[in-house]
Structure 1
Amino acid sequence: MLVTTYSSSVYGIEATTISVEVNISTGTRYYMVGLPDNAVKESLQRVESAIMAIGYRMPRQKIVVNLAPADMRKEGSSFDLSIAIGILAASGQISSTLLAQYLLMGELSLDGTIQPVKGALPSAIQALKDGFKGFILPEENTREAAVVTGLAVLPVRNLKDVVAICAEKSDIQPVYIDLEKEFLQENEQTGADFSDVKGQENIKRALEIAAAGGHNVILIGPPGSGKTMLAKRLPTILPPLSMEESLETTKIHSVAGQLKSRISLMTKRPFRAPHHTTSDVALVGGGTHPQPGEISLAHNGVLFLDELPEFKRAVLEVLRQPIESRNITISRARFSVDYPASFMLIAAMNPCPCGYYNHPEKTCICGSAMVQRYLSRISGPLLDRIDLHVEVTPVAFKELTDTQQGEKSMVIRARVIEVRKIQQERFKELKNLHSNAQMGSKLVRQYCDLDEPSAQLIKVAMERLGLSARAYDRILRVARTIADMDGSTNIASQHIAEAIHFRSLDRENWGG
Structure 2
Amino acid sequence: MGLARTHAMALLGLTGALVEVEADISGQLPGMFLIGLPDAALSEATHRVRTAAANSGCPLTRNRLTINLSPAALPKHGSGFDLAIAVACLAADELISADSVAGVVHIGELALDGRLRPTPGILPAVVAASRLGHTTVMVPAGSADEASLVPDMRVIGVATLRDAAIWHGARLEPIPVDAIVPPADPAEHVEEPDLVDVLGNDDAVLALQIAAAGGHHVFMLGPPGSGKTMLAARLPGLLPDLDAAASLEVSSMRSLSGHALGRALITRPPLEAPHHTATAAAMVGGGSGQIRPGAAARASHGVLFLDEAPEFASSVLDALRQPLESGVIIIHRANATARFPARFQLVMAANPCPCGQYGSTDLDCTCPPSARRRYLARISGPLLDRIDIQLRVTRVTAAQLRLAADEPRRSSATARGRVIDARAAAADRLAGTPWSLNSEVPGPWLRGPQSRLGGSITATLDRALERGGITMRGYDRVLRVAWTIADLDGVQRPGADHVGQALYLRKGMTT
**How high is the TM-score relative to the length of structure 1?**
0.92
Instruction: Give the alignment partner of residue 493 of structure 2, picking from 490, 493, 500.
Output: 490
The residue aligned with 1:58 is: 60
Deviations 1:326-366 (A, max 9, x none): 11111111221211100000111111111111112221111
Q: Supply the distance in 2 between the matched residues of 1:168 and 1:238 (Cα, whole angstroms).
A: 52
Query: What secondary structure is seen at the aligned counterpart in 2 of 1:23?
Result: strand
Matches within 5 A, 1:17-416: 17-26=18-27, 27-167=29-169, 190=191, 192-258=193-259, 260-288=260-288, 289-401=290-402, 402-416=405-419
Q: Is the 8 A contact 2:232 2:347 kept in 1?
A: yes
Q: Supply the distance in 2 between the matched residues of 1:19 and 1:233 (Cα, whole angstroms).
A: 47
CA gap of 1:113–1:189, structure 2 versus 1, over 3 A, is closer
Q: Supply the distance in 1 between the matched residues of 2:239 and 2:130 (Cα, whole angstroms).
A: 33
Query: What secondary structure is seen at the aligned counterpart in 1 of 2:506?
Result: coil
The residue aligned with 2:185 is: none
Cα shift at 1:96: 2.3
Q: Supply the distance in 1 between the matched residues of 2:190 and 2:10 (Cα, whole angstroms).
A: 37
Q: Supply the distance in 1 between the matched residues of 2:433 and 2:285 (Cα, whole angstroms).
A: 28
Query: Once the two structures are aligned, what percentage of the paired residues are identical?
Result: 39
Does 2:39 match 1:3? no
Deviations 1:164-193 (A, max 9, x none): 111288999xxxxxxxxxxxxxx9994510
The residue aligned with 1:444 is: 446
Q: Is the 8 A contact 2:15 2:339 kept in 1?
A: no
Q: Supply the distance in 1 between the matched residues of 2:446 and 2:68 (Cα, whole angstroms).
A: 53
Q: Supply the distance in 1 between the matched residues of 2:123 and 2:191 (Cα, whole angstroms).
A: 28
Q: Supply the distance in 1 between the matched residues of 2:170 and 2:420 (Cα, whole angstroms).
A: 51
Q: Is the 8 A contact 2:162 2:174 kept in 1?
A: no
Cα shift at 1:397: 1.0
Q: Supply the distance in 2 between the matched residues of 1:97 and 1:319 (Cα, whole angstroms).
A: 49
Name whichever of 217-226 and 162-171 sits farther off.
Answer: 162-171
Q: Which letter does structure 1 place at the counterpart of 2:222?
A: G
CA gap of 1:87–1:188, structure 2 versus 1, over 3 A, is closer
Q: Is the 8 A contact 1:448 1:480 kept in 2?
A: no
Q: Which letter does structure 1 place at the counterpart of 2:275?
A: H
Cα shift at 1:457: 1.1
Cα shift at 1:461: 2.2
Q: Which letter does structure 1 place at the counterpart of 2:166?
A: A
Name whichever of 245-254 and 265-274 sits farther off.
Answer: 245-254
Q: Which letter does structure 2 place at the counterpart of 1:490?
A: R
Query: What secondary structure is seen at the aligned counterpart in 2 of 1:452?
Result: coil
Q: Supply the distance in 2 between the matched residues of 1:171 and 1:41 (Cα, whole angstroms).
A: 30
Q: Supply the distance in 2 between the matched residues of 1:468 and 1:306 (Cα, whole angstroms).
A: 26
Q: Supply the distance in 2 between the matched residues of 1:157 and 1:135 (Cα, whole angstroms).
A: 14
Q: Which letter does structure 2 place at the counterpart of 1:13?
A: L
Matches within 5 A, 1:498-509: 498-505=501-508
Q: CA RMSD in A?
A: 2.0
Deviations 1:392-450 (A, max 9, x none): 0111213324254511110010000001111222233233x221011112222235412
Q: Is the 8 A contact 1:313 1:377 kept in 2?
A: yes
Query: What secondary structure is seen at the aligned counterpart in 2 of 1:112?
Result: coil
Query: What secondary structure is seen at the aligned counterpart in 2 of 1:453?
Result: coil
Cα shift at 1:453: 1.7
Q: Supply the distance in 1 between the matched residues of 2:174 and 2:483 (Cα, whole angstroms).
A: 59
Does 2:12 match 1:15? no
Deviations 1:60-87 (A, max 9, x none): 1111101111121111111111111111
CA gap of 1:471–1:261, structure 2 versus 1, over 3 A, is closer
Name whichever of 191-200 and 338-347 sits farther off.
Answer: 191-200
Name whichever of 315-324 and 245-254 sits farther off.
Answer: 245-254
**How high is the TM-score relative to the length of structure 2?**
0.92
Cα shift at 1:101: 2.2
Q: Is the 8 A contact 1:145 1:264 kept in 2?
A: no
Query: What secondary structure is seen at the aligned counterpart in 1 of 2:458?
Result: helix
CA gap of 1:296–1:101, structure 2 versus 1, over 3 A, is same
Cα shift at 1:28: 2.5
Q: Is the 8 A contact 1:196 1:405 kept in 2?
A: no
Cα shift at 1:386: 0.2
Name whichever of 76-85 and 263-272 sits farther off.
Answer: 263-272
Q: Is the 8 A contact 2:95 2:170 kept in 1?
A: no
